[in-house]
Amino acid sequence: MKRHFPLGRRTMRSLPKVMLHEHLDCSLRPRTMLELWQSHGFEKAQIGFPADVLSEWNKAATVAGVNRRKLRTSAAAQYQDFLVGFASQSLANYVKAIVDHVLPIMQSSSNLERITRERMEDATADGIAGLELRFAPQLHTFSGLSLDNVMDSVISGIKYATFPTKLILCVLRHENADMARRIADLCVKYQRYVGVFDLAADERANPGVLKWWLKAALYVKMLAPPIAVTIHLWETDEPTDQDISLLRGFDIMLQEVTRRLRHKQLFKDDVWRVAHEVVEEMFATFNAIDADADSGLMRIGHGFRGNRQGNRLLEICPTSNVVTGQVVSFGDHPIDRLHREGKRVTVSTDGTLFTEVHLTDEYLKLQEHFGWKPADFLKVNLTAVEGSSFSLRTKARLRAQLKRAYGRL
Ligand SMILES: [Zn+2]
């Protein structure tokens, strides 16, 4: 049956979608946040809750049935407006909103499992057919959980997914080699669930391709080869020649580490030492690598600025870039140009809380602003499958599912 265009929300929602770039700590339900804050203590919030949100929420406790639900829904909507208004003032505020309002309620096993389970339920309703969900486990250890406790809780949550999922573990730009090694070891230990190793956080304060993180990325690739690597880049700034050279050099460095460890048993400390040596040598001679070479293993988180991304997979989150002030409006976003130029574009939300979108909404905006057709959506989804960390069998199944669904339109 032929559909009428443009596609309506219901059709768009029903279409299978593969998403590679979604932060767990930017995707909580506002209503769940209020519930968890009530148990935690509203008064403990560093940025105070608005009085009208609290009064509506508290009033809900005094009534029953439909009225209670209405009041809670309304309090949650006002709370989300407040958070979005605060976070969208600057990148510093955005981070502060996560630190002060999100992370405090993500410090127990039960909360982490619930938040992850709800994200899976929302994704099912959004038509998600494959998801890579990212988080930084070390941000959930402030009240005594171990890194293993955090992993186990999130893994319990993703078991509610009705579609293939993989976790992405993030190291943060302001951290260091010790933390990178700990998170890299988690990737190796939990590789049944972890598909990707990432570098996230403030690109302006700690720009570029960081040396200590590269070592950890090589370490992960040596000890758990199926794990993919992605780096947040080209989001707030354009990388330098050296950064682009290092991206290109990653594959060469990996070959070199492999060569030096050939025929040896892979002891973790030896891999770490050799990765360190190879990265140090590479940094000393980075000019030797052609900065314009345009391929590479590494995926790029965001990657929407300028024109030097080459053929790398780009995890583009258009609404997020508007909310954080990187582009003026959705219609000004270069995603359509990059897609038309044949770059390897994929589409994600980055998170649902501050962007106030699910992937269905991103697709509707792409249709509205740039006239994207089913063939465009199919293309970005096939690119996402290709670059994902799913098994070959899962990829084949997803490709067939996508072609069937979009081909029918
Ligand atoms: Zn991101």
Give 60 Cα–ligand 1 centroid separation in angstroms: 35
Give 66 Cα–ligand 1 centroid separation in angstroms: 37
Q: Which pLDDT score is estimated for 158?
A: 98
The per-residue pLDDT for range 362-402, each reduced to its tens digit, is 999 999 999 999 999 999 999 999 999 999 999 999 999 99
Question: Mean pLDDT in the chain?
Answer: 94
Question: Does the structure show a pLDDT above 60 at 164?
Answer: yes
Give 170 Cα–ligand 1 centroid separation in angstroms: 10
The per-residue pLDDT for range 62-107, each reduced to its tens digit, is 998 889 999 999 999 999 999 999 999 888 899 899 999 999 999 9
Give 344 Cα–ligand 1 centroid separation in angstroms: 17
Give 321 Cα–ligand 1 centroid separation in angstroms: 10
How many whole angstroms separate alpha carbon 139 and alpha carbon 174?
13
Q: Which pLDDT score is estimated for 237?
A: 85
Instruction: Give the residue-averaged pLDDT of 197-215.
Output: 90
How many whole angstroms separate alpha carbon 331 and alpha carbon 322?
10
Give 16 Cα–ligand 1 centroid separation in angstroms: 22
Strand partners, 292: none
Confidence band, pLDDT 50/70/90 cuts, at residue 3: low
Question: Does the structure show a pLDDT above 70 at 326?
Answer: yes
- The amino acid at residue 174 is H
Side-chain-side CA neighbours of 268 within 13 Å: the count stands at 11
Give 315 Cα–ligand 1 centroid separation in angstroms: 9
Give 23 Cα–ligand 1 centroid separation in angstroms: 6
Give 168 Cα–ligand 1 centroid separation in angstroms: 11
Range(s) for CATH 3.20.20.140 in the chain? 9-25+112-407
Instruction: Give the residue-averaged pLDDT of 339-344.
Output: 96
220 touches 229 (CB < 8 A): yes
Nearest to 189 by CA among 171, 167, 210, 174: 167
Question: Does the structure show a pLDDT above 60 at 292?
Answer: no
Q: Which pLDDT score is estimated for 127?
A: 98
Give 384 Cα–ligand 1 centroid separation in angstroms: 16
The per-residue pLDDT for range 369-378, each reduced to its tens digit, is 999 999 999 9
Q: Which pLDDT score is estimated for 302?
A: 93
User: What is 9-25+112-407's CATH superfamily?
Assistant: Metal-dependent hydrolases (3.20.20.140)
DSSP strand pairing (345-347 vs 314-316)? parallel
Confidence band, pLDDT 50/70/90 cuts, at residue 308: confident
Question: Does the structure show a pLDDT above 90 at 306?
Answer: no
Give 222 Cα–ligand 1 centroid separation in angstroms: 25
State which of 201-215, 262-276, 393-407 shows the largest mean pLDDT: 393-407
- The residue assigned the tokens 């930017």 is 26
Question: Does the structure show a pLDDT above 90 at 24?
Answer: yes
Give 350 Cα–ligand 1 centroid separation in angstroms: 5
- pTM for the full model? 0.95
